[in-house]
Every structure is written in structure tokens, then in C-alpha cells.
Amino acid sequence: MTASDAREIAAHFPPGFLWGVSTSAYQIEGALDADGRGRSIWETFAERPGAIERGEDASVACDHYHRYREDLALIRDLGVGSYRFSIAWPRIQPTGSGPVNRAGLAFYERLVDGLLEAGIRPFPTLYHWDLPQALEDKGGWAARDTAAHFADYTALVMQALGDRVAQWSLFNEPSIFTTRGYLLGRYAPGRQSLPDYLKAVHVVTMAHADGFRAAKAVRPDAKVGSVFAMAPCEPATDAPADRAATAYADAVFNHLSAGPLMTGRYPQPFLDSIPLKALAMLPGDTERMRVPLDFIGVNTYYRLVVSGGGDSRPDLPYFLFDILSDQRTTGGHADFSRPDPTAVRIENAFGRSEGKRTAMGWEIWPRALHDVLLSITGLYGPIPIEVCESGCAFDESPGDDGVVHDDARRAYHAAHIAAVADAMKAGANVMSYHVWSLYDNFEWASGYRPRFGIVHVDYVTQRRTLKDSARWYREVCHAARLRAGAVSLAER
């Protein structure tokens, strides 16, 4: 990539736009029993035979807990302006309640201080799926008390780091960890219970509300939001059954978590499909669950093409497929297919054009991110939006020259960055773009097979190697910094 190419990309964004990278604690830290850290639901889940591909676990992962200084130097070298990471609840409160574990908190204090010294915004998420096992033993996210415990945890972290951290995310992708953890049993804690899932949906909603208020009580000036998995939903055909299924998919996937926080009510298609008492709402919840989020974080990886039935198999990712195929919850079903990931373009049964596929079988469709950003703006007005995860998994390793040539990943990010620029021109108030992920890491139930990182990790030696995509992204970040500096000088 030439300097002029990087300048061209940066020129489409305002000087204050933040270019960042993302990680999560459980996926990179390792050191699961270090310095008083408590046990999480993922250690328990990983011990189940067959729960994680190849029987792998996150006991070492990227060893970030011990190598954070090296990692800070790498992040600084990339030239990013924002680092999104998560704080492991079991490091702060080993049993999910009680006093702070000072050693665990000190790790994040060092990390935040190092980022600030490097001129990088620390952008933490308070919950990225690693619930303390002690709370799961008491009912987990299906138990109302967990929301109160989360609020207490939020206050403790805000008291410790709120003087140095200005922007906070409460949760990462609540729709994913509730669905796959409590309904489908494919993620920790591995339950398969429709009643537990529905209770968890509402408990997490109230945890958002209680956590938001706890954060603001400690730091009224803090910017507090949350991060949601979102994808535009399209009907496979114009058939009424497909359109009805699409409306339901949109309600469940895109609005079940964010909707009640922004509007004070769950989406009507969802309420029409369940008895309200299944959510175990308490008097006053409707009034309390609406909170004025300061921003919305979004993770978009694909679009959803939805079918209400028939012999065709249009695309639909695994988690939503399982929800929609459950007659008890939707009264309909949807199918999905995973075409050859090497195919350049294919046509499905309806003549719908499709994109290339990643190693996860996910369709590459940059327009999806554009459409999600404008959808948020259309629904909720000019609320600030943070693109918290955008990324792809491909199978690659260093070549004979020691370099990881990942042109497909570089093209992926270039196309998605262009989609963000187009959405901003159309009125979306986007503040940042974060690459998922900084590192190849522990990818939950898929173990270490998928490689999402722009930095290759040798899991035996822990050597970090910048892929071509990282070198490209570094040029973009550098050009953005130069542009911001030039604009600043011009305005003086």
C-alpha cells in the first residue's frame, strides 16, 4: 500500500475519527488461575467432552496477562487511536460479589495507564461473556440477582478506573451469549432451556439498566453504552412467509437487546410469540429498563437472508437459524447453507447474488455494515455509533519469508471501511472503526482454529507476527494521524 492510498482512505473521515483494534479478556489473557482470579463459566464449559473443538481451552490463549507490556508496544506501533478490550469479572470479584481482588484490578490499571501514556483511548467492555462460575451456580443470567451483582461490579470498576477511562461499554453482544449459552447450549454455561433463555433476556436487560445507573452514580460525566451484534435482514423472496420470517428475525436479532433500552419495550413481534410472564418481569421494570445510552456499539459480520420455509436453503447464521427453526418460539422455520468458501460468486435458488465466504462460512457483504449503521440512525436519531468489531477469519500462516500474506483480510477491511464512509455521508454519526481482532486468539467453542487477527500468534512460542493486513492498517492509522495534525494546525 502506498502512502497516497492510505491518505485517500483517511481523507474520507473527519480528523477526530478513531481507528482501533479489539480484543476480549477471555480470548487473549490466559493466566486463568493467576493472582486470585476466580473461575468462570468458560473453564467449566471447556471441561465438557466435545464442548470445544479439539478439546482446547483458554488457559494460555495469547498469554496477554503476562505479555501485556510487549502487547502495548505492538499496539502503539500500529498507531491506533483506540483499543477496545474487556475486563474479566472473575479477576475483579472472584466469586462475582464481595470486595475487589486488588491484584486483578492492578493488571487493568497498568494496562489503562500504558494506553494513556501511548496516547491511545482505553475503551473497555465490562462483560464479554466470562461470568464468574459462583454466580452461575446461583442461577446465572436466568437469576434476577445477577443483575444486581453486575451493577455492584460496575460501580467497583468505575470507582477504580473512572478517573482515567471516559467511555465504557456495559456488555458485548447480549443476544449471542444468551441464545448460545442458555437456549442452544453451544456456549458457556451450556444450558438448553427455553424458559432459562427467556429469563436471561430480561435479566440482562435489567443488568444494562442497573449497570448504566451504577456507572453514572459514580462517574456522571462518563460516556456509557453497550455493544450489540446486528445484521440487516432480507427476505429470500417476496413470498409473505419469507417477509414475515424476516420481520421476526429482525426483531429477535437486532432489537431484542437494544430495543428495550432505547424505547422501554421489547419488539412487538417477539412479544407476540411468547407469553409475557415468561420474561419474569417485575413491577416497575418497564419504567426502569429504558436508559439514555450515550452511544451504541455495533458488531456486524454479515447480512441475514431469511426464508419462512420451503425447500430452498438461503443463508442464515447458525444461532439465528436454531431460534427460527424452533416451532415453539416462531411458528415458522428458516434454513441456511454454507457454500464453498472459495467460490467467487454464486447464485442461490432465487437468483440472489452472494459474496465470498470466510473460513467461518460467513458471507462477505460490506453493504451489511452500511445498512446497519443507517438503520440505527433511522431508528434512534444521531446517536454516536462505535463500530466495535469488524473482521474475518481466514486460514493462513507465515510463508517461507516469515510474512503472513492475507490479501483477503486486507480487502475485507478496505471494503468495510468504505461502507462506513458511505454511511457517514448518508448521516450516520459513526465515531470509530475497530478491527476484530488484534490477535489470532481463542475463538470460544471453535478453539484456536479460526484466525481473525491482523497479528498472527504462534500458540507454541507466543511469537507475534504482523500480517500484511496489520502493516496496511498501520499505514491507514498513520495517514489519519497526519491528517488530524494537519487539520489541527490549520485551525490554529
C-alpha span between 209 and 206 (Å, rounded): 5
407-411 contacts at long range (C-beta below 8 A, 24 or more positions apart) = 407/468, 408/356, 409/454, 409/467, 409/469, 410/468, 410/469, 410/472
Alpha-carbon gap, residue 135 to 156, rounded angstroms = 17
> Would you place residue 329 in the very low, low, confident or very high pLDDT band (cuts 50, 70, 90)?
very low
pLDDT of residue 376: 98
Q: Which of 299, 300, 304, 302 is nearest to 234 (CA)?
A: 304
User: Measured between alpha carbons, how far is 332 from 254 in angstroms, rounded to an integer?
Assistant: 19
| CB proximity list for 334: less than 8 A, separation 6 or greater | 245, 249, 306, 307, 308, 309, 314, 316, 320, 321, 324, 325
**Tens digit of pLDDT for each residue in 84-136?**
999 999 999 999 999 999 999 999 999 999 999 999 999 999 999 999 999 99
pLDDT tens column, 345-355: 223 333 456 88
Q: Above 90 in pLDDT, residue 365?
A: yes
- The answer to whether 187 touches 444, Cβ cutoff 8 Å, is yes
Cell triple for 130: 466470562
CA distance 300 to 312: 25
Mean pLDDT, range 231-257, rounded to an integer:
90
Q: Are residues 296 and 386 in contact, defined by beta-carbon separation less than 8 angstroms? A: yes
Least confident residue range of 212-221, 275-284, 304-313: 304-313
What is the predicted pLDDT for the residue at 245?
83
- Percent of the chain past pLDDT 70, that is, above it, reads 89
- Cell 417476496 maps to which residue? 238
Backbone phi, psi, residue 356, to 5°? -65, 170
Residue 384 CA, chain-centre distance (Å), reads 17
Query: Which amino acid is present at 1?
Result: M
Angstrom distances, CA of residue 438 to CA of 183, 237, 256, 377: 30, 38, 29, 28
Inter-CA distances, 44 with 41, 49, 255, 257, Å: 5, 11, 30, 26
- Assess whether pLDDT exceeds 80 at residue 414: yes
- Say how far apart CA 214 and CA 153 lie, in whole Å: 9
b/e map 351-367, b = 16+ CB within 10 Å: eeebbbbbbbbbbbbbe
CA distance 90 to 491: 47
User: Dihedrals φ, ψ of 123, to 5°?
Assistant: -130, 80
Q: How many helices (H) and strands (E) does the chain have?
A: 19, 14
Averaged pLDDT of the chain: 90
Evaluate if residue 205 carries a pLDDT over 60. yes
Query: 98-107, 175-184, 313-322, 481-490: which range is least confident on average?
Result: 313-322
Would you place residue 391 in the very low, low, confident or very high pLDDT band (cuts 50, 70, 90)?
Answer: very high
Q: Note if 347 is an active site residue.
A: no
Grid cell, residue 237, equals: 423472496
Q: What is the pLDDT of residue 320?
A: 43
DSSP state of 335: -
Phi, psi of 58 (to 5 degrees): -100, 25
- Please state, in angstroms and rounded to a whole number, the distance separating the CA atoms of residues 206 and 132: 18
pLDDT above 90 covers a percentage of the chain that reads 79
Q: With beta carbons less than 8 A apart as the criterion, state whether 354 and 348 touch.
A: yes
How confident is the model over 38-56, as pLDDT tens digits?
A: 999 999 999 999 999 999 9
Q: Let me know if 136 is a catalytic residue.
A: no
Query: 389, 396, 443, 475: which is the annotated catalytic residue?
Result: 389
**CA nearest neighbour of 253 among 322, 175, 331:** 175
Q: Inform me whether the pLDDT recorded for 413 exceeds 60.
A: yes
Q: What are phi and psi of 167, to 5 degrees?
A: -120, 135
* Cell output for 179: 441464545
Name the residue among 168, 166, 167, 188 with its Cα closest to residue 179.
Answer: 188
- Answer left, alpha or beta for residue 53, where phi above 0 means left and psi between -120 and 50 means alpha: beta
Catalytic residue among 29, 43, 56, 173: 173
